[in-house]
């Protein structure tokens, strides 16, 4: 920065009072020479972009100009701002100065599509040229998108039970729409949270700026009754996400019942056979929990929990929470729900158990825990598939008949060329297999018990042999209990005589020899007779000799 002044006084002391500059002289007394180009740098506080240019949070630009001869009026911002194709306010710059360093702050706090650039010329006319954006992401064109609306699910409402038409709808629109996920889960008899999206939500609902669809696929059949959870999740290009969920009941065929996992494990595959496990005192170790859902209240006094053992009713021990009454309020699910806890003490005795829950709603509409779509192997409707068998008793061998056998302490003997050994078996829960072994070799495993799995009569043959032969019968029931005649714990009791070894022979000497007590006893007896006879002969001969001498 320069200043210029000149004075003159002549020899007589006269002082010059004016200065004449040559025509065309500019800024003769004060002027600036500036040949330095201004510099501009731009930085952003938020460079976390999705899809290269989308930001889901505020973004602030900081413009730094280094210039001695600076004027904000000579800074040129090239900016646009729009939202969904319509112009919106362009954010302004807030300046601060520190010597030759001049700083502008521009805050982008509103959703919109923005473009930005900046240049300047200083007071001397030097142009800055392109600004330096450094490593900024999407510095000149970017979108601020902090907002995503909640997608809309229509046609169904939380906590409502539908017994007629069920037509869910979905809709969502966003100018920066990216992706969506739609999912439908169903809980019904025997199935918990099964994904049925493909069955009921067919087609691609995507359109240019969102999704929309209507789903009229809930046919009025019993297997479609259940508790449904419909979730629609959407994501925009900035990474914002939003979702809506509706949980509703399709209840055209009465209440919907949800069984806990333990109960499902007992009744699966037509009913399990349960024995004591891991040293437990009982076979059923947990209470059974069932939740009933209905669109209206269950009528007071209508609840019935029926349990039968081997076809005979027993007094059911259970707790209902809440107890059905007109005062019952809607549960946390959004509809009326009842939790039934059936005590494990109902199932301490062996037998086949069946459980049925029935009730009526406030409109006198009956419901039962057995769904309409339960069928047996013959495709016939089954009224009660909630069944299982408790079997803590090992199979009982009622009899083993060895014809014409003579029983000794540790074996049986039969005078025959071959014999048929007959046996009968009884099991309360049902037989799974029977195996016979002779001399350690299997005679086959029988798993076909005809019309009755509770009793079985079998026969196997043993041929004549020189030595004793071992026999073993191994029985397993459907619960996994095992009776083995070779086990140290096997005891036929007083029902019949049983020996695990048997001698079948027509040879008297073989039978005589195998009877060790008789055999060795007879040997001892024979020796005694021989000695006595010898002694008698000796005495008689001695008497005769003495008589001859006299």
What is the distance between the alpha carbons of residues 125 and 35, in angstroms, rounded to a whole number? Answer: 9
- The tokens for 236 are 């925009």
Q: Which of 423, 416, 439 is nearest to 501 (CA)?
A: 439
- The tokens for 255 are 């209440």
Q: Which of 263, 321, 318, 269 is nearest to 292 (CA)?
A: 321
How much is the pLDDT for 508?
83
For residue 103, what are the β-bridge partners? 64, 96
How much is the pLDDT for 99?
96
What is the distance between the alpha carbons of residues 352 and 428, in angstroms, rounded to a whole number? Answer: 9
Cis preceding-peptide flag for 322 (omega within 30 of 0): yes
Residue with tokens 């009025």: 220
- The tokens for 11 are 């020899």
Q: Which of 232, 111, 115 is nearest to 176 (CA)?
A: 111
Contact 75/120 with Cβ under 8 angstroms? yes
Q: Which of 226, 237, 146, 240 is nearest to 194 (CA)?
A: 226
First to last CA, the chain: 187
Q: Which of 265, 166, 183, 263 is nearest to 224 (CA)?
A: 166
Contact 137/232 with Cβ under 8 angstroms? no
The CA-CA-CA angle for residues 36, 38, 40, to 5°, reads 155
- E strands, 24-100, in order: 30-31, 39-44, 54-55, 59-66, 75-83, 86-87, 94-98
DSSP state of 90: P
What is the distance between the alpha carbons of residues 297 and 238, in angstroms, rounded to a whole number? Answer: 46
How much is the pLDDT for 371?
54
How much is the pLDDT for 437?
96
Residue with tokens 């976390």: 48
How much is the pLDDT for 492?
87
How much is the pLDDT for 516?
55
How much is the pLDDT for 526?
46
Burial, 518: exposed, middle or buried (Cβ in 10 Å; 0-12, 13-18, 19+)? middle
Q: How far is CA 519 from the centre of its chain?
A: 71
Per-residue pLDDT tens, the chain, 550 aa: give them.
999 999 999 999 999 999 999 999 999 999 999 999 999 999 999 999 999 999 999 999 999 999 999 999 999 999 999 999 999 999 999 999 999 999 999 999 999 999 999 999 999 999 999 999 999 999 999 999 999 999 999 999 997 878 889 999 999 999 999 999 999 998 875 577 899 999 999 999 999 899 999 999 999 987 888 889 999 999 999 999 999 999 988 878 777 777 888 888 888 888 889 999 887 889 999 999 988 887 678 888 899 999 999 999 999 999 998 877 777 876 666 567 889 999 999 999 999 999 998 998 876 778 887 755 333 333 334 344 789 999 998 999 999 998 888 988 889 999 999 999 999 999 988 999 999 999 999 999 999 998 888 999 999 999 999 999 999 999 999 999 999 999 988 988 887 888 999 999 998 877 777 775 554 555 544 444 444 444 445 445 555 555 555 4
CB-based contacts of 127, cutoff 8 Å, min separation 6: 37, 38, 119, 120, 121
Q: How far is CA 315 from the centre of its chain?
A: 34
CB-based contacts of 289, cutoff 8 Å, min separation 6: 259, 260, 262, 263, 339, 340, 341, 342
What is the distance between the alpha carbons of residues 153 and 362, in angstroms, rounded to a whole number? Answer: 29
Contact 542/508 with Cβ under 8 angstroms? no
What is the distance between the alpha carbons of residues 327 and 84, in angstroms, rounded to a whole number? Answer: 52
Contact 317/364 with Cβ under 8 angstroms? no
């Amino acid at each position: 920065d320069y200043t210029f002044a000149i004075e003159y006084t002549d020899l007589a002391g006269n002082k010059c009072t004016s200065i004449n500059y040559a025509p065309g002289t500019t800024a003769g007394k004060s002027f600036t020479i500036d040949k330095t180009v201004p510099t501009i740098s731009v930085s952003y506080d938020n460079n976390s972009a999705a899809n290269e240019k989308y930001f889901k949070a505020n973004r602030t630009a900081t413009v730094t100009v280094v210039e001695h001869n600076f004027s904000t009026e000579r800074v040129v911002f090239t900016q646009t701002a729009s939202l969904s194709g319509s112009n919106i306010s362009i954010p302004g710059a807030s300046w601060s100065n520190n010597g030759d360093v001049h700083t502008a702050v521009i805050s982008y706090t509103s959703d919109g599509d923005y473009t930005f650039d900046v240049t300047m010329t200083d007071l001397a006319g030097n142009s800055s040229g392109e600004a330096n954006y450094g490593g900024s992401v999407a510095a000149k064109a970017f979108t601020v998108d902090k907002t995503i609306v909640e997608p809309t699910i229509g046609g169904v409402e939380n906590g409502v039970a539908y017994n007629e038409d069920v037509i869910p709808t979905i809709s969502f629109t966003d100018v920066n729409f990216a992706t969506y996920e739609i999912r439908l889960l169903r809980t019904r008899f025997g199935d918990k949270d099964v994904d049925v999206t493909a069955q009921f939500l067919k087609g691609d609902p995507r359109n240019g700026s969102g999704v929309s669809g209507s789903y009229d696929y809930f046919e009025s059949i019993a297997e479609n009754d259940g508790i449904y959870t419909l979730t629609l999740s959407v994501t925009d290009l900035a990474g914002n996400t939003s979702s809506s969920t509706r949980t509703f009941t399709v209840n055209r065929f009465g209440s919907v019942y949800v069984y806990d996992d333990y109960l499902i494990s007992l009744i699966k595959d037509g009913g399990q056979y349960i024995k004591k496990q891991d040293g437990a005192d009982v076979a059923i170790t947990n209470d059974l929990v069932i939740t009933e859902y209905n669109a209206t209240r269950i009528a007071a006094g209508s609840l019935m929990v029926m349990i039968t053992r081997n076809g005979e009713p027993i007094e059911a021990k259970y707790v209902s929470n809440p107890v059905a009454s007109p005062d019952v309020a809607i549960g946390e699910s959004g509809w009326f729900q009842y939790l039934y806890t059936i005590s494990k003490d109902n199932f301490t005795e062996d037998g086949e158990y069946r459980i049925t829950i029935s009730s009526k709603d406030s409109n006198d509409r009956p419901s039962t825990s057995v769904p309409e779509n339960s069928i047996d192997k013959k495709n016939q409707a089954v009224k009660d598939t909630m069944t299982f068998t408790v079997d803590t008793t090992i199979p009982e061998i009622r009899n083993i008949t060895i014809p014409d056998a003579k029983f000794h302490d540790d074996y049986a003997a039969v005078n025959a060329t071959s014999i048929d050994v007959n046996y009968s078996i009884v099991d309360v829960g049902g037989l799974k297999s029977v195996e016979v072994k002779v001399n350690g070799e299997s005679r086959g495993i029988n798993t076909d018990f005809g019309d009755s799995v509770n009793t079985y009569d079998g026969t196997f043959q043993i041929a004549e042999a020189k030595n004793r032969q071992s026999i073993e019968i191994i029985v397993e029931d459907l619960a996994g209990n095992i009776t083995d005649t070779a086990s140290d714990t096997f005891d036929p009791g007083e029902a019949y005589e049983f020996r695990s070894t048997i001698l079948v022979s027509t040879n008297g000497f073989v039978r005589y020899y195998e009877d060790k007590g008789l055999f060795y006893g007879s040997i001892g007896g024979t020796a005694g007779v021989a000695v006595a006879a010898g002694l008698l002969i000796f005495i008689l001969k001695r008497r005769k000799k003495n008589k001859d001498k006299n």
